[in-house]
Structure 1
Amino acid sequence: METRLALYETLSLAQKQQLDTLQVHPEQLAYSGDIYCALNSLLVNPHPDAIKGFALLADETPVAFLLLKRPPCLPHWADAHSATLHALQVDRHQQGRGFGKCCLQALPAAALQAWPQIKGLELSVDADNGAAMRLYLGAGWVDSGEAYKGRIGYERRLRWVFNRAP
Protein backbone atom coordinates (compact mmCIF):
# COMPACT_ATOMS: atom_id res chain seq x y z
CA MET A 1 0.00 0.00 0.00
CA GLU A 2 1.38 3.39 -0.99
CA THR A 3 0.88 6.33 1.38
CA ARG A 4 1.58 10.02 1.07
CA LEU A 5 0.76 13.17 2.99
CA ALA A 6 -1.04 15.63 0.70
CA LEU A 7 -2.04 19.25 1.23
CA TYR A 8 -5.79 19.57 1.58
CA GLU A 9 -5.93 22.12 -1.23
CA THR A 10 -4.41 19.59 -3.68
CA LEU A 11 -7.05 16.91 -3.02
CA SER A 12 -9.59 16.11 -5.71
CA LEU A 13 -13.26 16.78 -5.07
CA ALA A 14 -13.81 13.02 -4.60
CA GLN A 15 -10.99 12.85 -2.03
CA LYS A 16 -12.42 15.84 -0.14
CA GLN A 17 -15.80 14.13 -0.08
CA GLN A 18 -14.18 10.92 1.21
CA LEU A 19 -12.35 12.94 3.87
CA ASP A 20 -15.71 14.32 5.06
CA THR A 21 -16.62 10.78 6.15
CA LEU A 22 -13.54 10.34 8.40
CA GLN A 23 -14.59 9.38 11.94
CA VAL A 24 -12.60 8.75 15.08
CA HIS A 25 -13.75 6.59 17.99
CA PRO A 26 -16.11 8.51 20.29
CA GLU A 27 -13.60 8.39 23.18
CA GLN A 28 -11.02 10.14 20.95
CA LEU A 29 -13.23 13.15 20.17
CA ALA A 30 -12.17 15.00 23.32
CA TYR A 31 -8.54 14.81 22.21
CA SER A 32 -8.63 15.30 18.44
CA GLY A 33 -12.06 16.76 17.73
CA ASP A 34 -13.87 15.62 14.62
CA ILE A 35 -13.22 16.22 10.95
CA TYR A 36 -15.88 18.95 10.77
CA CYS A 37 -14.17 21.06 13.46
CA ALA A 38 -10.76 20.52 11.87
CA LEU A 39 -11.94 21.46 8.38
CA ASN A 40 -13.86 24.44 9.73
CA SER A 41 -10.76 25.83 11.45
CA LEU A 42 -8.84 25.34 8.20
CA LEU A 43 -11.39 26.73 5.76
CA VAL A 44 -12.70 29.77 7.67
CA ASN A 45 -9.35 30.95 9.04
CA PRO A 46 -8.65 34.60 8.17
CA HIS A 47 -4.92 33.77 7.88
CA PRO A 48 -4.71 31.10 5.15
CA ASP A 49 -0.90 31.10 5.14
CA ALA A 50 -0.86 30.38 8.88
CA ILE A 51 -2.74 27.07 8.83
CA LYS A 52 -2.38 24.07 6.53
CA GLY A 53 -4.41 20.88 6.37
CA PHE A 54 -2.89 17.57 5.32
CA ALA A 55 -4.58 14.29 4.46
CA LEU A 56 -2.78 10.98 4.58
CA LEU A 57 -3.69 9.12 1.43
CA ALA A 58 -3.45 5.33 1.29
CA ASP A 59 -3.65 4.28 -2.33
CA GLU A 60 -5.10 7.76 -2.99
CA THR A 61 -7.90 7.35 -0.41
CA PRO A 62 -7.88 9.67 2.66
CA VAL A 63 -7.39 7.68 5.88
CA ALA A 64 -6.12 10.41 8.24
CA PHE A 65 -6.02 14.18 8.62
CA LEU A 66 -4.02 16.75 10.56
CA LEU A 67 -3.51 20.49 10.85
CA LEU A 68 -0.31 22.53 11.12
CA LYS A 69 -0.34 26.10 12.40
CA ARG A 70 2.06 29.06 12.27
CA PRO A 71 1.83 32.61 13.63
CA PRO A 72 -0.58 34.26 14.20
CA CYS A 73 -2.47 31.00 14.79
CA LEU A 74 0.07 29.41 17.16
CA PRO A 75 -1.12 28.49 20.66
CA HIS A 76 0.32 30.41 23.62
CA TRP A 77 2.77 27.64 24.56
CA ALA A 78 4.49 27.37 21.16
CA ASP A 79 7.78 28.83 19.99
CA ALA A 80 7.30 31.45 17.26
CA HIS A 81 9.85 29.69 15.02
CA SER A 82 7.96 26.40 14.96
CA ALA A 83 4.77 24.97 13.51
CA THR A 84 2.31 23.18 15.76
CA LEU A 85 0.47 19.94 15.11
CA HIS A 86 -3.27 19.79 15.79
CA ALA A 87 -6.28 17.52 15.24
CA LEU A 88 -4.39 14.39 14.16
CA GLN A 89 -7.19 11.99 13.28
CA VAL A 90 -6.99 8.49 11.84
CA ASP A 91 -10.28 7.08 10.62
CA ARG A 92 -11.57 4.60 13.17
CA HIS A 93 -11.92 1.89 10.50
CA GLN A 94 -8.23 2.33 9.62
CA GLN A 95 -6.72 2.52 13.12
CA GLY A 96 -4.11 -0.02 14.14
CA ARG A 97 -2.62 -0.18 10.64
CA GLY A 98 0.27 2.25 11.20
CA PHE A 99 -1.31 5.30 9.55
CA GLY A 100 -0.65 7.57 12.55
CA LYS A 101 3.01 6.62 12.35
CA CYS A 102 2.98 7.26 8.58
CA CYS A 103 1.62 10.77 9.22
CA LEU A 104 4.38 11.52 11.70
CA GLN A 105 7.11 10.13 9.43
CA ALA A 106 5.97 12.28 6.50
CA LEU A 107 5.23 15.37 8.58
CA PRO A 108 8.71 16.97 8.88
CA ALA A 109 9.24 17.07 5.10
CA ALA A 110 5.68 18.32 4.49
CA ALA A 111 6.07 21.04 7.14
CA LEU A 112 9.38 22.22 5.70
CA GLN A 113 7.91 22.30 2.21
CA ALA A 114 5.05 24.48 3.47
CA TRP A 115 7.25 26.72 5.64
CA PRO A 116 11.00 26.35 4.90
CA GLN A 117 11.90 28.87 7.63
CA ILE A 118 10.61 26.84 10.59
CA LYS A 119 13.08 25.35 13.05
CA GLY A 120 10.89 22.59 14.47
CA LEU A 121 7.47 21.17 15.20
CA GLU A 122 5.59 21.18 18.48
CA LEU A 123 2.46 19.59 19.84
CA SER A 124 0.54 19.39 23.06
CA VAL A 125 -0.93 16.08 24.16
CA ASP A 126 -3.10 15.14 27.11
CA ALA A 127 -0.87 13.35 29.61
CA ASP A 128 -3.57 10.69 30.10
CA ASN A 129 -3.73 9.90 26.37
CA GLY A 130 -1.38 6.94 26.57
CA ALA A 131 -1.84 5.80 22.96
CA ALA A 132 -0.94 9.26 21.61
CA MET A 133 2.03 9.61 23.97
CA ARG A 134 3.40 6.23 22.81
CA LEU A 135 2.86 7.17 19.17
CA TYR A 136 4.66 10.52 19.42
CA LEU A 137 7.52 9.36 21.61
CA GLY A 138 7.98 6.24 19.47
CA ALA A 139 8.23 8.46 16.38
CA GLY A 140 11.08 10.47 17.91
CA TRP A 141 9.27 13.46 19.41
CA VAL A 142 10.88 14.68 22.64
CA ASP A 143 8.93 15.52 25.79
CA SER A 144 9.88 19.00 27.02
CA GLY A 145 9.33 17.91 30.60
CA GLU A 146 6.71 20.62 31.05
CA ALA A 147 3.06 20.02 31.85
CA TYR A 148 0.29 22.57 32.03
CA LYS A 149 -3.43 22.54 32.74
CA GLY A 150 -5.25 22.00 29.45
CA ARG A 151 -8.93 21.87 28.60
CA ILE A 152 -9.31 18.24 29.74
CA GLY A 153 -6.43 17.59 32.12
CA TYR A 154 -2.71 18.11 32.21
CA GLU A 155 -0.99 18.33 28.86
CA ARG A 156 2.59 17.61 27.84
CA ARG A 157 4.52 19.59 25.26
CA LEU A 158 6.50 17.57 22.74
CA ARG A 159 8.95 18.85 20.16
CA TRP A 160 10.55 17.70 16.91
CA VAL A 161 13.70 19.65 16.00
CA PHE A 162 14.94 19.65 12.42
CA ASN A 163 18.52 18.49 12.01
CA ARG A 164 19.92 20.75 9.34
CA ALA A 165 23.51 20.83 8.23
CA PRO A 166 25.18 24.26 8.74
Structure 2
Amino acid sequence: MTTRLVPYEQLDATQREQLDGLEVHPEQQAFSGDIYTALHTLLKAPEPGIKGFALLADERPVAFLLLKHGPFLPHWASAGTATLHALQVDHRVQGRGYGQACLQALPEAARLAWPELKGLMLSVDADNQAALKLYLKQGWVDSGEAYKGRIGYERRMTLDF
Protein backbone atom coordinates (compact mmCIF):
# COMPACT_ATOMS: atom_id res chain seq x y z
CA MET A 1 0.00 0.00 0.00
CA THR A 2 1.34 3.41 -0.97
CA THR A 3 1.15 6.21 1.58
CA ARG A 4 1.86 9.91 1.40
CA LEU A 5 1.33 12.83 3.76
CA VAL A 6 -0.38 15.73 2.01
CA PRO A 7 -1.53 19.18 3.09
CA TYR A 8 -5.26 19.37 3.74
CA GLU A 9 -5.76 21.95 1.00
CA GLN A 10 -4.52 19.44 -1.61
CA LEU A 11 -7.30 16.95 -0.83
CA ASP A 12 -10.06 16.68 -3.40
CA ALA A 13 -13.74 16.84 -2.46
CA THR A 14 -14.07 13.06 -2.17
CA GLN A 15 -11.00 12.80 0.07
CA ARG A 16 -12.30 15.61 2.30
CA GLU A 17 -15.60 13.78 2.66
CA GLN A 18 -13.75 10.54 3.49
CA LEU A 19 -11.63 12.40 6.05
CA ASP A 20 -14.82 13.58 7.78
CA GLY A 21 -15.51 9.91 8.51
CA LEU A 22 -12.21 9.28 10.30
CA GLU A 23 -12.87 7.79 13.74
CA VAL A 24 -10.51 7.19 16.65
CA HIS A 25 -11.17 4.78 19.50
CA PRO A 26 -13.24 6.51 22.22
CA GLU A 27 -10.45 5.95 24.79
CA GLN A 28 -7.99 7.74 22.47
CA GLN A 29 -10.21 10.80 22.01
CA ALA A 30 -9.10 12.13 25.39
CA PHE A 31 -5.57 12.32 23.98
CA SER A 32 -6.08 13.24 20.31
CA GLY A 33 -9.57 14.71 20.14
CA ASP A 34 -11.77 13.89 17.18
CA ILE A 35 -11.68 14.83 13.52
CA TYR A 36 -14.43 17.45 13.90
CA THR A 37 -12.49 19.39 16.54
CA ALA A 38 -9.26 19.16 14.56
CA LEU A 39 -10.89 20.33 11.34
CA HIS A 40 -12.66 23.15 13.18
CA THR A 41 -9.28 24.32 14.50
CA LEU A 42 -7.91 24.25 10.97
CA LEU A 43 -10.84 25.75 9.07
CA LYS A 44 -12.61 28.18 11.42
CA ALA A 45 -10.29 31.04 10.47
CA PRO A 46 -7.49 29.78 8.23
CA GLU A 47 -4.09 30.99 9.41
CA PRO A 48 -0.61 30.48 7.92
CA GLY A 49 0.59 29.25 11.34
CA ILE A 50 -1.76 26.24 11.44
CA LYS A 51 -1.48 23.47 8.86
CA GLY A 52 -3.44 20.24 8.52
CA PHE A 53 -2.09 17.10 6.91
CA ALA A 54 -3.79 13.87 5.89
CA LEU A 55 -2.04 10.57 5.41
CA LEU A 56 -3.36 8.95 2.26
CA ALA A 57 -3.17 5.18 1.79
CA ASP A 58 -3.84 4.39 -1.84
CA GLU A 59 -5.30 7.91 -2.10
CA ARG A 60 -7.79 7.42 0.78
CA PRO A 61 -7.35 9.39 4.05
CA VAL A 62 -6.48 7.10 6.97
CA ALA A 63 -4.90 9.59 9.40
CA PHE A 64 -4.79 13.30 10.16
CA LEU A 65 -2.65 15.72 12.15
CA LEU A 66 -2.19 19.41 12.80
CA LEU A 67 1.01 21.43 12.98
CA LYS A 68 1.21 24.82 14.68
CA HIS A 69 3.93 27.42 14.27
CA GLY A 70 4.69 31.06 15.06
CA PRO A 71 2.02 32.82 17.12
CA PHE A 72 0.11 29.54 17.55
CA LEU A 73 2.86 27.75 19.45
CA PRO A 74 1.78 26.58 22.91
CA HIS A 75 3.51 28.00 26.00
CA TRP A 76 5.76 24.94 26.34
CA ALA A 77 7.20 25.08 22.81
CA SER A 78 10.53 26.57 21.76
CA ALA A 79 10.80 29.35 19.21
CA GLY A 80 11.76 28.11 15.75
CA THR A 81 9.78 24.88 16.08
CA ALA A 82 6.38 23.64 15.00
CA THR A 83 4.23 21.55 17.32
CA LEU A 84 2.32 18.38 16.52
CA HIS A 85 -1.34 18.18 17.56
CA ALA A 86 -4.36 15.93 17.07
CA LEU A 87 -2.54 12.97 15.49
CA GLN A 88 -5.38 10.60 14.67
CA VAL A 89 -5.35 7.25 12.89
CA ASP A 90 -8.73 5.80 11.94
CA HIS A 91 -9.47 2.92 14.33
CA ARG A 92 -10.52 0.67 11.43
CA VAL A 93 -6.95 0.66 10.08
CA GLN A 94 -4.87 0.90 13.26
CA GLY A 95 -2.00 -1.51 13.62
CA ARG A 96 -0.94 -1.18 9.97
CA GLY A 97 1.90 1.31 10.50
CA TYR A 98 0.03 4.49 9.55
CA GLY A 99 1.03 6.37 12.70
CA GLN A 100 4.64 5.52 11.95
CA ALA A 101 4.19 6.60 8.31
CA CYS A 102 2.84 9.98 9.49
CA LEU A 103 5.81 10.54 11.77
CA GLN A 104 8.33 9.49 9.13
CA ALA A 105 6.88 11.89 6.54
CA LEU A 106 6.31 14.73 9.00
CA PRO A 107 9.76 16.41 9.05
CA GLU A 108 9.77 16.88 5.27
CA ALA A 109 6.16 18.13 5.25
CA ALA A 110 6.92 20.57 8.08
CA ARG A 111 10.03 21.94 6.33
CA LEU A 112 8.05 22.41 3.10
CA ALA A 113 5.43 24.38 5.04
CA TRP A 114 7.96 26.43 7.02
CA PRO A 115 11.55 26.17 5.66
CA GLU A 116 12.97 28.08 8.64
CA LEU A 117 12.03 25.38 11.18
CA LYS A 118 14.73 23.97 13.41
CA GLY A 119 12.63 21.07 14.66
CA LEU A 120 9.34 19.71 15.89
CA MET A 121 7.88 19.40 19.37
CA LEU A 122 4.92 17.64 20.89
CA SER A 123 3.31 17.13 24.23
CA VAL A 124 2.01 13.67 25.09
CA ASP A 125 0.08 12.45 28.09
CA ALA A 126 2.45 10.54 30.37
CA ASP A 127 -0.11 7.73 30.63
CA ASN A 128 -0.33 7.29 26.84
CA GLN A 129 2.28 4.53 26.71
CA ALA A 130 1.50 3.47 23.14
CA ALA A 131 2.11 7.00 21.84
CA LEU A 132 5.27 7.46 23.91
CA LYS A 133 6.67 4.21 22.54
CA LEU A 134 5.82 5.21 18.95
CA TYR A 135 7.43 8.65 19.26
CA LEU A 136 10.59 7.29 20.86
CA LYS A 137 10.88 4.62 18.16
CA GLN A 138 10.72 7.37 15.53
CA GLY A 139 13.59 9.34 17.06
CA TRP A 140 11.73 11.86 19.21
CA VAL A 141 13.57 12.73 22.42
CA ASP A 142 11.78 12.97 25.76
CA SER A 143 12.88 16.16 27.51
CA GLY A 144 12.49 14.47 30.89
CA GLU A 145 10.17 17.25 31.98
CA ALA A 146 6.54 16.75 32.90
CA TYR A 147 3.91 19.39 33.49
CA LYS A 148 0.25 19.35 34.45
CA GLY A 149 -1.85 19.21 31.28
CA ARG A 150 -5.57 19.29 30.73
CA ILE A 151 -6.12 15.59 31.58
CA GLY A 152 -2.95 14.58 33.41
CA TYR A 153 0.77 15.00 33.30
CA GLU A 154 2.28 15.72 29.90
CA ARG A 155 5.74 14.92 28.56
CA ARG A 156 7.49 17.23 26.09
CA MET A 157 9.27 15.60 23.19
CA THR A 158 11.44 17.05 20.44
CA LEU A 159 12.67 16.04 17.02
CA ASP A 160 15.52 18.24 15.78
CA PHE A 161 16.32 18.65 12.09
Alignment TM-score > 0.5, same fold: yes
Q: Is residue 63 of structure 2 the alignment partner of residue 64 of structure 1? A: yes
Q: Where does residue 119 of structure 1 map in the other structure?
A: 118
Q: Where does residue 18 of structure 2 map in the other structure?
A: 18
Q: Where does residue 109 of structure 1 map in the other structure?
A: 108
For the residue of structure 1 that corresponds to 2:92, the secondary structure is: coil
Q: Is residue 6 of structure 2 the alignment partner of residue 6 of structure 1? A: yes
Shift of 1:80: 1.6
Distance 2:79 2:32 in 1: 23
Q: How many residues align?
A: 161
Q: Where does residue 96 of structure 2 map in the other structure?
A: 97
TM-score (norm: length of structure 1): 0.96
Q: Is residue 33 of structure 2 the alignment partner of residue 33 of structure 1? A: yes
Distance 2:8 2:14 in 1: 12
What does the per-residue CA deviation read over 1:13-42, in whole Å, with 9 as the maximum and x for residues that have no partner?
000000000000000000000000000000
Structure 2, unpaired ranges of 5+: none
TM-score (norm: length of structure 2): 0.99
Letter in 1 for 2:137: G
Letter in 2 for 1:108: P
Q: Where does residue 146 of structure 1 map in the other structure?
A: 145
Distance 1:32 1:98 in 2: 17
Shift of 1:156: 0.2
Distance 1:37 1:74 in 2: 18
Q: Percent identity?
A: 70
Distance 2:70 2:29 in 1: 25
What does the per-residue CA deviation read over 1:32-80, in whole Å, with 9 as the maximum and x for residues that have no partner?
000000000000135x100000000000000000000012111000012
For the residue of structure 1 that corresponds to 2:29, the secondary structure is: helix
CA RMSD, Structure 1 to Structure 2 (Å) = 0.6
Distance 1:134 1:145 in 2: 14
Distance 2:8 2:90 in 1: 16
